[in-house]
Amino acid sequence: MRKVLSYSGAALLSLTIILSGCGSQTSPKNNDQSSDVANPAVQQVIAPVYKRAEIISSPDVAKQLLIDGNSRFVAGKPLSKDLSATRRTDLMKNGQHPFAVIVSCSDSRVPPELLFDQALGDLFVIRVAGNVITPVELGSVEYAVEHLKAPLVVVLGHEECGAVTAAVQGSVAHGNIAAITDKIKPAVDAAKAMGLTGKDLIEKSADINIQNAMKDISGSSIMKEGVESKQVKIIGAKYDQDEGALKLMND
Ligand SMILES: [Zn+2]
Span 169-174, mean pLDDT? 87
- Ligand 1 geometric centre to CA of 157 (Å): 7
Domain annotation covers residue 133: yes
Question: Which value, to the nearest 10 degrees, does the dihedral of the CA atoms of residues 29, 33, 35, 40 take?
Answer: 160
How far is ligand 1, taken at its centre, from the CA of residue 190, in Å?
19
Q: How far apart are CA 84 and CA 79, in angstroms?
A: 15
Residue 43: pLDDT over 90: no
pTM for this one? Answer: 0.80
Distance (Å) from CA 191 to ligand 1 centroid: 17
**143 within some domain:** yes
pLDDT for residue 57: 82
Structural domains of the chain, count: 1
Average pLDDT over residues 36-62: 58
User: Looking at the domain assignment, is residue 90 inside a domain?
Assistant: no
Of 4-13, 68-77, 110-119, 238-247, give the lowest mean pLDDT range. 4-13
- pLDDT value at 156 more than 70: yes
Indicate the range of 9-18, 51-60, 82-91, 189-198 predicted with least confidence: 9-18
Which residues, 6+ apart, have CB-to-CB distance to 240 below 8 Å? 158, 159, 246, 247
At 198 the pLDDT is 97
Does residue 191 sit within a domain?
yes
Rounded mean pLDDT of the chain? 83
Q: Say how many Å lie between the CA of residue 107 and the centre of ligand 1.
A: 5
What separation in angstroms does the CA of 197 have from each of 110, 204, 238?
A: 25, 10, 20
103 part of a folded domain: yes
Task: Report d(CA 44, CA 210) in Å as an integer.
Answer: 35
Query: Half-sphere exposure (CA, 13 Å, Cβ side) for 212?
Result: 22
Cβ-proximal residues to 189 (8 Å cutoff; 6+ apart), any chain:
none
**Distance between Cα 241 and ligand 1 center (Å):** 11
Q: Please tell me the distance between residue 158's alpha carbon and the centre of ligand 1 in angstroms.
A: 6
The verdict on residue 172 lying in a domain is: yes
**Percent of the chain residues past pLDDT 90, beyond the cut:** 69
- Whole-number Å distance, alpha carbon 21 to ligand 1 midpoint, is 31
Q: What is the pLDDT of residue 36?
A: 44
Which CATH number does the domain housing residue 213 bear? 3.40.1050.10
Compute the distance between CA of residue 144 and CA of residue 232 in angstroms, rounded to an integer: 11
pLDDT category, 251, cuts 50, 70, 90?
low
Residues in the chain: 251
- Looking at the domain assignment, is residue 151 inside a domain? yes
Distance from residue 2's CA to the centre of ligand 1 (Å): 33
Give the domain range for residue 118: 96-248
91 part of a folded domain: no
**pLDDT category of residue 171 using cuts at 50, 70 and 90:** confident
For the cut 90, the answer to whether the pLDDT of residue 172 exceeds it is: no
Q: Percent of the chain beyond pLDDT 70?
A: 78
**Over residues 50-72, mean pLDDT:** 82
Give 129 Cα–ligand 1 centroid separation in angstroms.
6
Alpha carbon distance 46, 55 (integer Å): 12
Mean pLDDT over 187-203 rounds to: 98
State pLDDT tens for residues 175-184.
999 999 999 9
Reported for 178-184, long-range contacts at CB under 8 A and 24+ positions apart, including other chains, are: 179/134, 180/128, 180/129, 180/130, 180/132, 181/130, 183/130, 183/132, 183/133, 183/134, 184/130, 184/132, 184/209
CA of 228 from ligand 1 middle (Å) equals: 30
Mean pLDDT of 146-164: 97
d(CA 157, CA 8) in angstroms, rounded, equals: 34
In this structure, what are the phi and psi dihedrals at residue 101, rounded to the nearest 5 degrees? -105, 130
Mean pLDDT of 46-51: 48
CA of 212 to the centre of ligand 1 (A): 15
**Ligand 1 center–CA 165 separation, angstroms:** 9
